[in-house]
Structure 1
Amino acid sequence: MQNHFPVWKNVLVLTVLLIGFIYSLPNLYGNDPSVQVASSTSTPLEQRQADSVAANIKDAGFTPKSFEFSNGKVLARFSNTDEQLKVADLLKAKMSNNATVALSLAPATPGWLRALGAEPMHLGLDLRGGVHFLLEVDMDAAIKQDEERYVNDIRSAFRDAKIRYQSVSKEANGIKISLPDNNETKAAAIEVLNKDFRQLDIDEKTDSELLATIPEKQLKELKKSALGQNITTLRNRINETGVAEPIIQQQGEDRIVVQLPGVQDTTSTKDLLGTTATLEYRLVDTEHDVQSAVEGHVPVGSRIYPDKNGRPVLLKRAVIVTGDQITDASSGLDQEGTPAVFITLDNVGAKKMGKMTQDNIGKPMAVVFIEYKSQTKVVDGQKVQHKEKVEKVISVATIRDSFSKRFQTTGLDNVQEARTLALLLRAGALAAPVEIVEERTIGPSLGQENINQGILSIEVGFFLVVAFMLIYYRGFGLIANFALFFNLLALTAILSMLQATLTLPGMAGIVLTLGMAVDANVLINERIREELRNGHSPQASIYIGYEKAFATIFDSNTTTLLVALVLYGFGTGPVKGFAVVLALGIITSMFTAITGTRMLVNWIYGGDRQVERLSL
């Protein structure tokens, strides 16, 4: 009974084989060109809206392969991309402002497989096509914004403490605070700064001048926070558009990689990624003359802003609420039929807005639209990127009644501007402007060519190994080939269950795994041959071959696994993908090459059979 194989091991191998077969199946069905319709607000679509989408498609003469409505989203599948594109254009024109229409590739997995949770692997940018952006975050702008915030906060703190000051302004080396030449005033100012702004370093430059600077440690935290917030904001913006499986990740200290599989419209995508737009609500200064301010006599506590037509408007410097206090925003039309954005504030913003509107009924309030634009200028024959902060008043309205948490903003030029602004406000403002420093577009035809070449490489590698094992090891080679197929099945199933994104390096990992998977069987078969030459019986040779080869197989695979872990730990992007596939392939090949083949060998040669010779 040397080759007795426990029943539980048979059950384990067969169970893994069945699971591998089921969960790798979805990858054979491909994808359907689809159109996805989702709500652009926090409220999901309702059944009546889904019925309206279905009616619009039917009235236009299109028949989807299937029409699905679940989790507040509509998914219409089509037979070809021509129908997909035409229906997408149709729905964009027909749907309301609060709906987002997006192109997608929906897996054509049968319903019974989806019921078991079986889904295909995602395809990466190099296989599916799409766009790749490398964004650089303007850290200097992030620091400048933080310093400007400190300027406003210090002014407010001095006013609350009734401390007289001549000016608080941002300088190249910090925040300059000019005070009257009075020791008591200076002492009071330092006390307020040390109490409310402990994070700043305060230096006494002269008897009437202080300099507040942000410490180096806090600057590093600020840059880290700005990068993290930008990644979150970009992810929110992309999610709003319905793009499937986007990759948004940090690269280095100030760069962000954005990969959007399936996206071909780079113009609108660039506008979405690079736009830093937000709103500020300020009271209009009605106590002073605008013309006098334009001539240079700007009152303390006020500032001139242009409106959309370029005319000057005098506003209070104190900001009521800003864009980062907006929790939700949706676009639509107001009672007069003009484009509007309906806004919801957080509790802090609602409290401030409620108090301000209650105290200023009958006074005008302005909405300031703030945007950072990147322009290319030629300086000394060289193209230089120049970032410009654009601020304009888009609306001035009289406060008729008190409001706080929910209200609307009008004054927008068209419905598309209202829709874009609502999307940006929902996703949040970028903590600092970003600049696209690298852009690549991969067409779907090239992606399909990569898929075909990748599959061809797997097929060629698989059949070459199969042919070699059959010719050289005969029956035991056939068993090893079964284990090889079992290994490919198990690896595909695991990647599908993990919903991994398959890329070209991942395909390379699969090909390498196929080549390495038979190494264990080569060692086992050669050890069995050696035992036969030493005069052992076939049964004893099988037993000794598996027992003695295991240590060598384990050691060699462990060292390769360690290399894969190192690649994953220190690599980025494609290298990580290759390392994951390689590591999983090592684990599956260990199981299939040792346990899987041992089960088959036991079925053929095990038990009480009297074996005269082996097909080896």
Structure 2
Amino acid sequence: MRLKKVRGAIVALAVALALWYLYPTLKFYTLSEEARSRMSPEELARLSERAVKLGLDLKGGMYLVLEVDLSKLRPEERKDAVDRAMQIITNRVDQFGVAEPVVQRQGKDRIIVELPGLKDIDRAMKLIGQTAQLEFKLLKPKDERDLVLKKMDEVLAVKKPKPKGKAEELFQEAPEDTFLLSHPFTGLMYRLGEEDLGVRVEDVPKVKELLSKPEVQKVIPPDGEFLWAAKPEVIGGEKYYRLYYLKKRPEMTGAMIKDARPDVGSGYDPSVAGRPIVRFSTTKDGVRLFARITGANIGRRLAIVLDRKVFSAPVIRTRIPRGNGQITGLESMQEAKDLAIVLRTGALPAPVKIINKQVVGPSLGADSIRKGVKAALIGLVLVVVFMVAYYRLCGLIADLALILNLVFLVAALAGLRGTLTLPGIAGIILTIGMSVDANVLIFERIREELRQGRTALRAISNGYSQAFRTILDANLTTLITAVVLYQFGTGPIRGFATTLSLGIIFSMFTAVVVTRVILDALVGGEV
């Protein structure tokens, strides 16, 4: 009798806890738009936090698999490069404002990013994948640049052919582009202002091809490099990209950046006034370093380089003692905000490449929810009808246990701050069929005991005790499989493994404990 009371108390406590954890989910997803508008943002956020979250396949959003390129890192840098990249991406996503993002490591060099409810896909991909390697580099003097350009023309120039023998061939028209033949590199360039060189947008691929040639790379000094401007400029109706010749070694890097904020430029410069900019401040060490760099190079130009693209190259007019600066050349305030985010969170330790991208629209997610719920209800109704038809009262008790199993499962997801995905719904549907399996074993054992002439109380006791080992073995093997799926799977597979594991645990509880409490109460009442 005492054991029966303990079982009853456990069941009552479990039901009370389940309803407590399930209530926020029911309330959140049944709230009308009017009721939501009446609630404060803090109240709505608290309620949302306690409710079951929907995965991106149900809510809509983006799923990315990123690969970190470790090939250019030293062995000692590779050890924690992926973990550092994951932390930086997590910080960027958090500042991006996505609710309930998931960032997790997969294997040796891959990172999975899930962004439920995301709408601006292109912006998110740029924000996540940008290396954000900020560098401050001094421009090389103009005479050094021109000398290198002259050598490049010399190694690329087409040698003039020897005069031909026939008289009529000597008087043939000379090629129109003889200057380009003797100046194959600088012939594609135009002077922009007093010092800069520009390349027309249509000629940029050709210039990049020439720059990549081994003979051209040999004439570029080891301490110098050519870098392109981040964006083209329109001059005289033509679009040009500036090409800068800089010192290869940076004077300062983004590691010295303490803070960065978007702003609107002011002053008389039309390229800055009223345009979006990013103002930054440096750390204490950065303040000293920036003051030393600017003080020692007054009159020279300091390029602000982000991911090997020059955003601006202003002239150092005076020493900057406080370590403040600004980045110009941005097209929109959104771009300024995103750049400020990546500068604040830091540069990725290595480039990342997007190797898999899946985007689910909100309408497709809503359709998945409808179909998943419909499938679950159909499965539930079929199981309920079969159990009642075959086992009568015992079947009705098993159906009650099945419904409690589903209540416990969803409540556990809410309590564990879990996320429900489409494969998770499949796991719930599978649980519906599996949860009554244990009851079938128990009821068949009880029938055998009754046929042998035992009393109802003895038949129930023997039926549960004899079936328990079989039930435990069957569920334990399935649970092990679910744990392996969760441990080695990712994303959707983990969602399936989670609901399957919880379903197995709660089906054991409802089949062995809940139904036993109800049967003992009924039979005890008869006796």
Q: 1:412 to 1:446 in 2, by over 3 A?
A: closer
Aligned pair 1:369/2:305, yes or no? yes
1:30 and 1:284 map into 2 onto residues whose CA distance is 59
Alignment partner of 1:320 is 2:251:
yes
Structure number with higher strand proportion? 1
Q: Does 1:605 align with 2:512?
A: no
Against the structure 1 CA distance between its residues 293 and 549, is the aligned structure 2 distance closer, same or farther, given a 3 Å change threshold? same
Aligned match of 1:68: 40
Task: Provide the residue aligned with 1:398 in structure 2.
Answer: 316
Q: Which has the higher helix share?
A: 2
**In 2, Cα distance between equivalents of 1:300 and 1:128:** 53
Whose Rg is larger? Answer: 2
Matched, 1:232 2:231: no
Q: Is the 8 A contact 2:137 2:305 kept in 1?
A: no
The alpha carbon displacement at 1:369 in A equals 2.3
Say if 2:99 and 2:116, in contact at 8 Å, map to a contact too. yes
Q: State the distance in 2 between where 1:529 and 1:313 align.
A: 89
1:70-109 matches, within 5 Å, as 70=42
**Cα separation, 1, equivalents of 2:68 and 2:228:** 28
The residue aligned with 2:13 is 15
Contact kept in structure 2, 1:366 and 1:393, CA below 8 Å: no
Q: Look up the SS of the partner of 2:25 in the other structure.
A: helix
Counterparts of 2:265 and 2:311 in 1: how far apart (Å)?
19
Q: Match for 1:527 among 424, 445, 468? A: 445
Q: Which has the higher contact order (CA 8 A, sep 6+)?
A: 2
CA contact (8 A) 1:5 1:599 kept: no
Aligned-pair identity (%):
39
Q: Which residue of 2 aligns with 1:128?
A: 59
Partner residue, 1:176:
none
Alignment length, in residue pairs?
444
Equivalent position SS for 1:518? helix
> Are 1:353 and 2:351 counterparts?
no
CA RMSD of aligned residues (A): 3.4
Q: Kindly indicate whether the alpha-carbon contact (under 8 Å) linking 1:135 and 1:435 is maintained by their aligned counterparts in 2.
A: yes
2:133 equivalent in structure 1: 278
CA shift in 2, pair 1:526/1:417, >3 Å: closer
Shift of 1:241: 1.9
Matches within 5 A, 1:498-537: 498-537=416-455
**Residues 1:575 and 2:493 aligned together:** yes
* Distance in 2 of aligned mates of 1:428 and 1:421: 11
After TM superposition, the score normalised by the length of structure 1 is: 0.64
Picking from 234, 244, 265, the partner of 2:99 is 244
Superposed CA deviations along residues 510-547 of structure 1, whole A, max 9, x for unmatched, are: 11112111222222222222222212222222222223
**Could you say what secondary structure the match of 2:314 adopts?**
strand
The answer to whether structure 1 residue 540 and structure 2 residue 493 are counterparts is: no
Aligned-pair CA distance for 1:228 = 3.3
CA 1:559–1:317 in 2, change beyond 3 Å: closer, same or farther? closer
Q: Distance in 1 between matches of 2:348 and 2:32?
A: 33
Paired residue secondary structure (1:65) = helix
1:30 aligns with 2:2: no
Q: 1:33 to 1:265 in 2, by over 3 A?
A: farther
Relative to structure 1, the CA distance from residue 391 to residue 295 in structure 2 (aligned partners, 3 Å threshold; closer, same or farther) is farther
Structure 1: where are the runs of 5+ without partners? Answer: 35-61, 76-105, 147-213, 372-389, 612-616
Aligned partner letter, 2:430: L
Between stretches 8-17 and 582-591, larger displacement belongs to 8-17
Q: Does 451-460 or 399-408 show the bigger shift? A: 399-408
**How many angstroms apart in 2 are the aligned matches of 1:393 and 1:443?**
35
In structure 2, what is the Cα distance between the partners aligned to 1:32 and 1:244? 19
Q: Distance in 2 between matches of 1:494 and 1:300?
A: 62
| Aligned amino acid, residue 554 of structure 1 | L
Cα displacement (A) at 1:313: 5.3
CA distance in 2, matches of 1:547, 1:63: 51
Pick from 391, 394, 399: which aligns with 1:473?
391
Q: Structure 1's 330 and 393: CA in aligned 2 closer, same or farther, altered over 3 A?
A: closer
Partner residue, 2:347: 429
TM-score, reference length from structure 2:
0.74
- Using the alignment, how far apart are the partners of 2:96 and 2:432 within structure 1? 39
Match of 2:114 in 1: 259
